[in-house]
């Protein structure tokens, strides 16, 4: 069940992050054509493309975190005995999961506070409330939490089965 | 002292293998919770505001353009033209490969992409001509690092957005150092190759017709650096817009001219590029926050006090920073070096009287060196895996080029005019 959810979230992460990049490229392309060809500039382009960048980064980071592909200094982990390395990786994964949960809480607080103030991008003619843009933080970190938890569970099952196999062997 | 403790926690997290972006945010949270340097509300705001920057949008577009170029083999005709043009020279094939690295760097801005793409296309041919695998892979690993310095460089975009200085001017500042570095690495290639394989190591020169045909084929590829650099230098585009135009142009080339990348491939390229961007920018966001926290903890003042206590001049300070960066470069990859060092060191560097554009070039050359020094040197591993050569052989092959990089670093450190000349 948990792993099914994680697979569904993987598709969401990849779709959102890829679509955000595509949309940002389209918006910037449209802005440049409007400026050069029609001597006209859209006031909301920069705000929207910045929102798309934040969405791209957090959903992309969620995808990368759950695939365990974030850049790390791995030489110490690789030079340790396999068993110690496996347990240290598990602790690191749990710590990352902890950070994601904290980020969900902090992001939700940020969204709540911004909504209470009623901030929006209206100054640039882009009538999106700022809290809608900020909500990508709690949502993406919530997805990352589920996916990292699924990875930890499957990893710990692997460690368990390896331990049983080595004890039986 | 508080700043030292925060940095200590950050380094501890980094070295035990915590993903770098998380390690930076952990250290930031530690500073907030233990030393009360900021509030949790500030942390929440920083999660958003650190990335809310239009200049950073250049990074996904440069990565996207690079990935499309690699997927569609867009650079191959240009590379073949360079190789054909250098055939008549002693060790011409090796020189052509080295120059090809510079040309590739001017198109992609990614050292790993340049090194991997060139290793795939050249290794077999160079081996057939009698060059040994260690020399080839060392040359490619070092040549790939040119992409870090030659504009458009993703590291320079990151530095510019963190230092809040013009990325376009940074690109202009990097032109002369980039050309000098390319010349130095190509000369090294020529010296090593002619010494090992003899000056008679020449190939049948390409005919004029062949060169003309290859030049025509290479025209679309030449358009990419022309659009990026010409657009930025002429003031027609901002770096972000230039990166977007380069992506659209590269996309149009592979879809409509070369017709070798389908829609499914293109969607994969978009997703991969977005994920690579996320990996880098998540680190950037953490680095901006830790830089902010360390400034609140008084790190710049501590460094200034140190400078005053030891009465260090700007070049002594910069040499000290170089030594620190070289040591850090053994363990941290280039992006981490840029993102961690820039916000932490820049206030101190400015206080020491070093120009931020000069420091950018010094930092980027340190990143080039970090890319080819074990145990973390990313290019060594990429070349090793693509060319199927043991990492030890690649590291040995890279040694002469590493010496040249260090010499160039010292030159760029002591002669700021090399970096600042084009800005004047």
Q: Give the ipTM.
A: 0.92
Cross-chain Cβ contact B274/A106 below 8 Å: no
Cross-chain Cβ contact B278/A88 below 8 Å: no
Structure tokens at B362: 């010094």
Please give the pLDDT value at position B411. Answer: 97
Measured from the Cβ of residue B397, the count of other Cβ atoms closer than 10 Å reads: 25
- Kindly tell me the burial class for residue B176, based on how many C-beta atoms sit within 10 Å of its own C-beta (0-12, 13-18, 19 or more): middle
Please give the pLDDT value at position B178. Answer: 95
Closest Cβ–Cβ partner in A18, A29, A134 for B244 = A29
Chain centre to alpha carbon of residue A51 = 14
Planar angle of CA B82, B170, B283, nearest 5 degrees: 100
Buried b / exposed e across B400-412, counting CB within 10 Å, b at 16+?
Answer: bbbebbeebbeeb
Cross-chain Cβ contact A65/B271 below 8 Å: no
Measured from the Cβ of residue B257, the count of other Cβ atoms closer than 10 Å reads: 11
Given CB atoms, is B307 within the 8 Å cutoff of chain A?
A: no
Please give the pLDDT value at position A157. Answer: 64
Q: In a structure prediction context, what are the per-residue pLDDT tens digits for chain B, which is 424 residues long?
A: 788 899 899 989 988 889 989 999 999 999 999 998 889 999 999 999 999 989 899 999 998 998 898 889 888 888 889 888 888 888 888 898 899 888 888 887 777 777 777 787 788 888 888 888 999 999 999 998 999 999 888 899 999 988 999 999 999 999 999 999 999 999 999 999 998 887 666 677 888 899 999 999 999 988 988 888 888 888 888 889 999 999 999 999 999 999 999 989 999 999 999 998 999 899 889 988 988 888 888 877 777 787 778 888 889 989 999 998 988 888 777 777 888 888 888 888 888 889 999 999 999 999 999 889 877 677 888 888 778 888 888 889 999 999 999 999 999 999 999 999 988 7
Sole residue written with tokens 């801005």:
B109
Coil, helix or strand at residue B298: coil
Given CB atoms, is A89 within the 8 Å cutoff of chain B?
A: yes
Please give the pLDDT value at position B304. Answer: 75
Structure tokens at B228: 């990026």
A contacts of B279 (beta carbons < 8 Å): 60-61, 64, 69-71
Give residue-wise pLDDT tens across range A128-162: 899 999 999 999 999 999 989 988 888 766 656 66
Interfacial B residues in 2-61 facing A (CB < 8 Å): 14-22, 25-26, 29, 40-41, 43-45, 47-48, 51-54, 56-57, 60-61
For B209, phi then psi, to 5°, come to -65, -40
Chain centre to alpha carbon of residue B43 = 30
Q: Which of B19, B52, B238, B280 is the mutation pick for testing A, counting most A CBs within 10 A?
A: B19
Buried b / exposed e across B266-290, counting CB within 10 Å, b at 16+?
Answer: bebbbbbbbbbbbbbbbbbbbbbbb
Q: Is the pTM of this model over 0.90?
A: no
Closest Cβ–Cβ partner in B41, B54, B331 for A46 = B54
Among B3, B20, B62, residue whose Cα is nearest residue B284 = B20
- How close is the nearest chain B Cα to the Cα of A169, in Å? 31
Cross-chain Cβ contact B277/A50 below 8 Å: no
């Amino acid at each position: 069940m948990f792993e099914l959810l994680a697979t569904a979230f993987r598709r969401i992460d990849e779709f959102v992050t890829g679509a955000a990049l595509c949309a940002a490229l389209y918006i910037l392309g449209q802005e440049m054509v409007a400026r050069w060809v029609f001597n006209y500039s859209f006031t909301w382009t920069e705000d929207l493309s910045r929102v798309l960048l934040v969405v791209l980064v957090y959903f992309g980071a969620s995808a990368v975190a759950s695939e365990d592909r974030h850049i790390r200094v791995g030489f110490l982990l690789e030079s340790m005995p396999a068993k110690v390395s496996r347990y240290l990786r598990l602790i690191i994964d749990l710590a990352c999961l902890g950070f994601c949960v904290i980020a969900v809480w902090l992001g939700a607080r940020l969204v709540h506070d911004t909504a209470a103030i009623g901030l929006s991008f209206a100054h640039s003619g882009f009538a999106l409330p700022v809290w809608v843009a900020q909500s990508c933080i709690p949502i993406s970190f919530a997805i990352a939490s589920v996916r990292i938890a699924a990875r930890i569970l499957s990893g710990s099952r692997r460690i368990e089965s390896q331990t049983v196999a080595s004890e039986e062997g | 002292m508080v700043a030292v403790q925060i940095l200590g926690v950050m380094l501890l997290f980094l070295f035990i293998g915590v993903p770098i972006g998380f390690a930076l945010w952990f250290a930031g949270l530690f500073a907030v919770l233990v030393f009360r340097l900021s509030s949790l509300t500030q942390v929440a705001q920083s999660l958003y505001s650190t990335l809310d920057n239009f200049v950073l949008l250049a990074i996904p577009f440069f990565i996207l353009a690079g990935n499309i170029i690699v997927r569609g083999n867009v650079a191959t005709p240009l590379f073949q033209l360079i190789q054909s043009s250098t055939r008549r020279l002693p060790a011409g094939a090796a020189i052509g490969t080295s120059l090809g690295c510079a040309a590739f760097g001017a198109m992609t801005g990614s050292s790993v992409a340049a090194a991997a793409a060139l290793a795939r296309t050249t290794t077999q041919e160079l081996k057939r001509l009698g060059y040994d695998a260690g020399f080839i892979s060392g040359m490619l690993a070092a040549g790939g690092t040119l992409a870090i310095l030659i504009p458009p460089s993703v590291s320079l975009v990151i530095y510019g957005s963190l230092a809040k200085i013009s990325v376009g001017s940074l690109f202009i500042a990097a032109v002369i150092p980039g050309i000098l570095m390319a010349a130095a690495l190509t000369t090294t290639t020529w010296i090593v190759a002619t010494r090992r394989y003899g000056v008679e190591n020449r190939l049948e020169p390409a005919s004029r017709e062949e060169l003309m045909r290859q030049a025509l084929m290479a025209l679309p590829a030449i358009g990419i650096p022309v659009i990026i650099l010409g657009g930025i230098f002429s003031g027609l585009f901002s770096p972000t817009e230039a990166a977007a135009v380069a992506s659209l142009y590269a996309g149009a080339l592979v879809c409509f001219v070369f017709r070798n990348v389908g829609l499914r491939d293109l969607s994969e390229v978009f997703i991969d590029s977005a994920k690579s961007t996320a990996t880098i920018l998540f680190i950037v966001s953490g680095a901006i926050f830790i830089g902010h926290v360390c400034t609140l903890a008084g790190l710049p003042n501590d460094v200034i006090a140190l400078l005053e206590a030891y009465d260090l001049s700007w070049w002594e300070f910069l040499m000290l920073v170089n030594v620190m960066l070289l040591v850090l470069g053994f363990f941290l990859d280039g992006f981490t070096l840029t993102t961690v060092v820039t916000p932490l060191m820049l206030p101190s560097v400015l206080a020491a009287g070093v120009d931020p554009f000069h420091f950018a070039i010094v930092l980027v050359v340190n990143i080039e060196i970090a890319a080819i020094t074990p145990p973390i040197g990313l290019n060594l591993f990429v070349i090793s895996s693509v060319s199927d050569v043991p990492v030890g052989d690649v590291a040995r092959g890279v040694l002469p080029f590493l010496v040249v990089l260090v010499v160039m670093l010292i030159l760029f450190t002591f002669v700021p005019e090399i970096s600042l000349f084009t800005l004047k």
